[in-house]
Structure 1
Amino acid sequence: MRVTSNTYPDTLLGHLQRTTKDMNMLNEQVSTGQRISKVSEDSASANRILDMQEEKGRITQFSKNAARAQNINNTTISQLQNFIQISDRITELATLADGLKGPDGMKAYAEEVDELIEHAMQSANAKFNGEYIFGGINTGSEPFASTVVDGKITAVSYEGAAEGAEFHLSETGKIRPYTDGATNEQFSEFIGKMIELRDALETGAVDAVTPAMRKNLESSEDDLIFALSRQGSVQMRIEFDLTLNQQRYTDLEENISAEADVDIAQTVVRLTQVQNAYQASLKSAGQVLNRSLLDYL
């Protein structure tokens, strides 16, 4: 068989080009730590990585939603605790008023109740991040409106929405960290009962504070405790979903790493082998291509 004079150089050139390509690829893998730089290098792995990265993006958004819901819920719990502290003192004053004989003592209690009414209104119209937390979806305006006569609150009404915004915590899970409209109406009723107690105390009459008033105040405190308990359940749900999202995010990072990252030690060994083969090819080519027909005469 006749072998042309350019057969060996062409074969050598093709071999060196392939070896150079392998060296460049391995050098890039060592420098970046990534096994795949283009989809064409491993389309199946690349598609799996893209899917997992997309899921990581969704989980990141879910975690942000959960963090915001948690902050809103924490603020709500804090204000409910304020309500309960106010309720405890109001119930105590209503009980103490039963033993008072003079109008001066009654009016002193009335002044304290009036201060507590103002405090309750501040909690009712509390904000988080510039938004009213008890307004439902109407977060831009005060949810509790008051009528003021001679510098005193004489009536309170709830003017917020029936429900608050919903937050997606996972693909299928969602939650409302706000109290609903019915619960907020109970807050309004509680402040109304405080106003009733203050007005009764201001009369100075011994029997102005009736057993029915005390019973109504106790009923309102039960409503407040129930509302606090419900928000505690919301908190547990948010924390549960946050933990699941964090675990899933960690799992995805590990899976992506397994698909995309290279074993540096093995890659360095392979790179050294390819470099040695390249040098050997060059040396061998130099020896062969330097020969001429005179070497065989």
Structure 2
Amino acid sequence: MSMRVTNSMATSQLISNLNNNLGKMIKQQNQLSTGMKLNKPSDDPTGITYALRYRSELSANSQYQSNTNSAVSLLDQYDTQLDESTQIMQRVKELVVEASNGTNTDSSLAAINEELQQLKQQMVDIANTRFNGKYIFNGEATSTKPYADGTDAKSVSADSGSIIYPIGEGISMNVNLNASEVFGDADAAGTTDNVFSIFDRLNTALSSGDTTAAAAELDNIENRTNKIINARSEVGARTNRAELMQERLDSISSNLTEMQSETEDADIDQLYTSYSSAQATYNAALKVGAQIISSTLVDFIS
């Protein structure tokens, strides 16, 4: 026995089909206007889960990138200061050798001593270097000036704390130098290679014309120079590691961005084709419906 199809049933079915097609078109219009295929959780519950995960990982990776970039910038600053420190120590050695040759007049020794004192002040300036408003040779006490000017510089004990940057998941890196590695331990009994003590002993020796005492400092100058060079080598090794992490983090960011795009971004060309097809289907349904149902009813529905 066949079921009787009434005008009401045909109308209801037509309205249902039209609404389904219209809803599909509205969803596609929204995706076309936003460029995103995920605009609300119901669009793709599984896709939303992945999208949120990618966003979280990208945010964390972005912070690691920022930390690594900061580390490289700080290490570059250390390298610059250590390069200048090495040049100063090399000039100090040249001057002491010149002063020790036994042919200098009192005025020549005074001129050498004056240049040495200028070099000492330059070394104090290096020890008190600030980068981004922070003293880079004072451990964790970055807001405090580590070394005093003048003769008091040798007695200052800079903070020895470490500054640690997270540069990856479970990866941290010490980015600062202990001041004693560069300038020597604070002056005390038995201390010979504090760079400021060397300058002060040279000043005392040359002021009194004691070139033998000045020459006796050559080994201390050489030892301190080598330690500065070693510190610079350590900075170079850290810089290499940080730059490798930069490349790794950039690669991770690129991969995560690509996966996020595949999950969230709409394929505009395909979406436009689908929307055109849905629009044609909707218009065809309206036309067929108008032939089945009375025009008055169709006019009311539309």
Q: What are the Cα deviations for residues 173-196 of structure 1, in whole angstroms up to 9, with x where unaligned? A: 111211025415527611211221
Q: Which amino acid in 1 is paired with 2:267?
A: D
Partner of 1:295: none
Deviation at 1:37, TM superposition (A): 0.8
Deviation at 1:202, TM superposition (A): 1.2
Q: Which amino acid in 1 is paired with 2:90?
A: D
Mapped to 2, the partners of 1:141 and 1:157 lie a distance apart of 16
Mapped to 2, the partners of 1:199 and 1:191 lie a distance apart of 12
Pair 36,155 (structure 1): closer, same or farther in 2 beyond 3 Å: closer
Q: Which amino acid in 2 is paired with 1:138?
A: A
Q: How many residues align?
A: 286
Partner of 1:119: 122
Tell me the secondary structure at the aligned position of residue 175 of structure 1.
strand
Q: Which amino acid in 2 is paired with 1:136?
A: G
Q: Which amino acid in 2 is paired with 1:209?
A: A
1:48 to 47, 50, 62: 50
1:143 to 141, 146, 151: 146
Q: What are the Cα deviations for residues 226-256 of structure 1, in whole angstroms up to 9, with x where unaligned? A: 0011011111111111111111111111111
Partner of 2:270: 266
Tell me the secondary structure at the aligned position of residue 99 of structure 1.
coil
Q: Which amino acid in 2 is paired with 1:180?
A: N
1:174 to 148, 152, 172: 172
1:208 to 206, 213, 228: 213
Tell me the secondary structure at the aligned position of residue 30 of structure 2.
helix
Mapped to 1, the partners of 2:152 and 2:210 lie a distance apart of 20
Pair 63,254 (structure 1): closer, same or farther in 2 beyond 3 Å: same
Pair 27,206 (structure 1): closer, same or farther in 2 beyond 3 Å: closer
Tell me the secondary structure at the aligned position of residue 213 of structure 2.
coil
Partner of 2:299: none
Q: In structure 1, list runs of 5 or more residues that go unmatched.
A: 293-297
Tell me the secondary structure at the aligned position of residue 256 of structure 1.
helix
Mapped to 2, the partners of 1:205 and 1:136 lie a distance apart of 38
Tell me if 1:231 matches 2:235: yes
Mapped to 1, the partners of 2:141 and 2:261 lie a distance apart of 45
Q: What are the Cα deviations for residues 118-156 of structure 1, in whole angstroms up to 9, with x where unaligned? A: 11100001101111000000011111235x4xxxx2651
Mapped to 2, the partners of 1:45 and 1:61 lie a distance apart of 25
Tell me if 1:38 matches 2:36: no
Contact 2:198–2:220 under 8 Å retained in 1: yes
Aligned Cα root-mean-square deviation (Å): 1.8
Deviation at 1:217, TM superposition (A): 0.6
Q: In structure 2, list runs of 5 or more residues that go unmatched.
A: 187-193, 297-302
Contact 1:134–1:178 under 8 Å retained in 2: yes
Q: Which amino acid in 2 is paired with 1:219?
A: N
Tell me the secondary structure at the aligned position of residue 235 of structure 2.
helix
Identity %: 26
Tell me the secondary structure at the aligned position of residue 169 of structure 1.
strand
Contact 1:83–1:120 under 8 Å retained in 2: yes
Pair 181,207 (structure 1): closer, same or farther in 2 beyond 3 Å: closer
Q: What are the Cα deviations for residues 249-276 of structure 1, in whole angstroms up to 9, with x where unaligned? A: 1111111111122222211111111111
Tell me the secondary structure at the aligned position of residue 209 of structure 1.
helix
Deviation at 1:157, TM superposition (A): 2.5
Deviation at 1:288, TM superposition (A): 0.9
TM-score, normalised by the number of residues in structure 1:
0.91
Deviation at 1:96, TM superposition (A): 0.9
Mapped to 2, the partners of 1:17 and 1:287 lie a distance apart of 18
Deviation at 1:30, TM superposition (A): 1.8
1:64 to 41, 47, 66: 66
Segments ≥4 residues shifted beyond 6 Å: none
Partner of 2:292: 288
Contact 2:182–2:227 under 8 Å retained in 1: no
Q: Which amino acid in 2 is paired with 1:110?
A: N
Mapped to 1, the partners of 2:20 and 2:49 lie a distance apart of 26
